[in-house]
Structure 1
Amino acid sequence: MPSVHRCWTRWAEEHGVARERLDQVGYAGRPAGEVVAELLAGRAVDEQLAAVARVQELELADAASGRLLPGVEELLSALPRDRWAVVTAATRTLALRRLSSLGLTVPMLVGAEDVTRGKPDPEAYLRAASRLGVEPARCLVVEDAPAGLAAGRAAGMATLALATTHDPAELCAADVVVSDLTLVRPLVQRDGTVALFVG
């Protein structure tokens, strides 16, 4: 989130968008094209496309500044690789750059190019479930942003919120809220299903 915040704040300054308006529209967990279309409504399509390209340029340049959150590496290494996916509002290029800078590889990625509607629409999570071959009701969405939690719930999935980037009060729609993934332990069962213990 610090990288996303830095990039969008700089973009807003460059494009004359007030910080209050940027926060009101919300950019965390949402596709850049949708955010720009809302913020620059009424402007020419070429200008909007250039603005999206600028956001992506800023984010790609800042992609290596991220840090691995507590418990992530341990949890992912314990999960079977065919049982999880990364679902992001970022483009595939940006997501893979961020993940590789953290030393992570992912078995499946659903990014901005894979959907027509971004979070909070459930399309991205439903696409991931379909690719995994799992019914949505048997999926768990792990999210740090309200838009992502809304998408997971709209997809009919259970939700676990990480209070790593937002105030827990903003995440109250989740089924479970934890401070980080050190509180989550997986148990892989014989049939390949995964149970997560929280606490």
Structure 2
Amino acid sequence: MRLEFDAVLFDLDGTLIDSTAAVRRAWERWAAEEGIDPGLLAGTKGKPAKDIVAALLPPERQEEGLAHYSHIATHDLEGVVVLPGAVEAIEAVGDHKAIVTSCTRDVTEARTTAADLPVTEVLVTADDVDRGKPEPVPYLVGAEKLGLDPRRCLAVEDTAPGLASGRAAGCTTLGIGHDLDADVVVPDLSHVRFEVVGDRVALTVPDAAVRS
């Protein structure tokens, strides 16, 4: 099946790069050094770091706690690699793209550099929004930065909060992984093909990947 969009809005972690082990290590170290039960981190995947910190620390410790996590996350980058099909996808869509991530800008830059991911000029990070995923704000801002209607954009995500964010913004959704609530679901970006046709991005996906 072939679908067309004005632009593609990509999540970062779990969508374009594999940072799973680094993220886990960073949060586990952060929790241990902050005196937080690591079990309280369950269910936080895909949520902005500032929201996680706000849920686990009292207000007077949150600014310092977030800076502490960012320091750990920007320095522990072992094993951060690009995912299958990611480079091909972002190169194929040209300038018709943005990265919309729950990471702060410093963590985003550190991880994309570690993974050797080509630079994407339009970024929306946790520093740019007051409400993160699953709220629609990140994807609304991403489309706004491109000067586009989000309803004519594709949001590419690997988590339930991220897909909920894209859907609430009005985007068509492409889920990366399995058992996800998205319009199209594939194991990774190597299973789809992007190309720019005129001023739009064409997405070709296996018919079996499209949810009715």
Task: Please state how far the C-alpha of 1:125 moved relative to its aligned partner.
Answer: 0.6
Residue 173 of structure 2 corresponds to 159
Question: Does structure 2 retain, via aligned residues, the 8 Å contact 1:87–1:124?
Answer: yes
Which whole-Å CA distance do the structure 2 matches of 1:44 and 1:109 have between them?
Answer: 28
1:117-196 matched pairs, under 5 angstroms: 117-163=131-177, 168-169=178-179, 171=180, 173-190=181-198, 192-196=199-203
Does the residue aligned with 1:85 lie in a helix, a strand or coil? strand
| Structure (1 or 2) with the greater helix fraction | 1
The CA deviation string for residues 46-105 of structure 1, in whole angstroms up to 9 with x for no partner, is x22221111111100113531010001111111122x10001111112111211222221
Verify: 1:84 aligned to 2:91, yes or no. Answer: no
Q: Which one scores higher on RCO, CA 8 angstroms, separation ≥ 6?
A: 2
Give the distance between the partners of 1:63 and 1:107, measured in 2 at CA: 22
Q: Root-mean-square deviation (CA), in Å? A: 1.4
The 1-side partners of 2:48 and 2:110 are apart by 17
CA contact (8 A) 2:70 2:106 kept: no
> Counterparts of 2:88 and 2:41 in 1: how far apart (Å)?
35
* Residue 72, structure 1, aligned to residue 86, structure 2: yes
Cα distance in 1 for partners of 2:113, 2:41 equals 29
Task: Specify the SS of the correspondent of 1:63.
Answer: coil
String of CA shifts for 1:125-169, please: whole Å, max 9, x gaps.
101101112111111011112211110011011111111xxxx23
- CA deviation map 1:26-65 (0-9, x unaligned): 1x2222121111112xx251x2222111111110011353
The answer for unaligned runs of 5 or more in structure 2 is 1-19, 207-212
1:49 and 2:63 equivalent? yes
- Maintained 8 Å contact 1:64/1:97: no
Task: Determine which of 20, 30, 33 is the counterpart of 2:47.
Answer: 30
Aligned to 2:190, the other structure's residue is in SS state: helix
| C-alpha deviation, 1:187, in angstroms | 2.9
3-state SS of the aligned residue for 1:17? coil
* C-alpha contact 2:99 2:124 (8 A) present in aligned 1: yes
Letter in 2 for 1:180: D
Indicate if the aligned counterparts of 1:64 and 1:98 stay in contact, CA closer than 8 A: no
Larger % of strand: which? 2
Structure 1: state its 5+ residue gaps.
Answer: none
Pairs aligned (count): 186
- Residue 33 of structure 2: aligned partner: 14
